[in-house]
Amino acid sequence: MKFKKYLWVVLLLLLVGYLGVSTNKHGIFAANNSSMQKAPVFSLPDLEGRQRSSSDFKGKVVILDFWATWCPPCVMEIPHFIELHKEYEGRGLVVVGISLDQGGVAGVKSFVKKNGINYPILIGNQKVAQDYGGIRGIPTTFVIDRQGRIVEKFVGYKDKNVFESVIKELL
């Protein structure tokens, strides 16, 4: 009798896993519920204190990167985002960084200047992290299509070519 119960539990867990997680064409595990859902709206301050809204990027393909200055994998991705923003901005791409640093704007501002970041950086908060599914690790990066739908979610460092292959299909 215990074996049957154990078997049912295993089958149920396998079914939940199958329904909850899939592999996209890039070999990245992504939750099915994040694929093609509308991206949550937000309004956050930029480094100058001006409120920026997700609607500012309407009609664009957006790479939305949750990151922090103290995070080595985040820092390693920044040159990729600088290059992608520069190369594809004219075709409708915008990279937006959402800093999850706790030290305030001054440290982020200094980091941005030192590293030549050419795309908008916003100061994140707990609400926006929760709205995007609860950011559990950084970097966490979303690719959003021109209709405002989340197309991909990446957790951890990814090479430039991973992001580029996704955005090329959307531009």
At 122-164, the pLDDT tens digits run 999 999 999 999 999 999 999 999 999 999 999 999 999 999 9
Angle at 118 between CA 117 and CA 120, to 5 degrees: 95
Looking at the chain, the whole-number percentage of residues with pLDDT higher than 70 is 79
For the cut 60, the answer to whether the pLDDT of residue 6 exceeds it is no
Find all residues with CB under 8 Å of 166, minimum gap 6, and list them.
26, 143, 151, 152
DSSP percent split of the chain into helix, strand, coil, nearest 5: 45, 25, 30
Residue among 37, 33, 35 at smallest CA distance from 20: 33
Query: Does 30 fall in a domain?
Result: no
Report the domain count for the chain. Answer: 2
pLDDT at 103: 84
- What pTM value is reported for the model? 0.79
Asked if residue 101 and residue 50 are part of one domain, the reply reads: yes
- Structural domain of 79: 36-170
Banded model confidence at residue 104, pLDDT cuts 50, 70, 90:
confident
Asked if residue 74 and residue 1 are part of one domain, the reply reads: no
Query: Does 5 fall in a domain?
Result: yes
Query: Does 66 fall in a domain?
Result: yes
Asked if residue 60 and residue 13 are part of one domain, the reply reads: no
Phi and psi for 106 in degrees, rounded to 5?
A: -55, -45
Distance (Å, whole) CA 35 – CA 47: 30
Query: Does 1 fall in a domain?
Result: yes
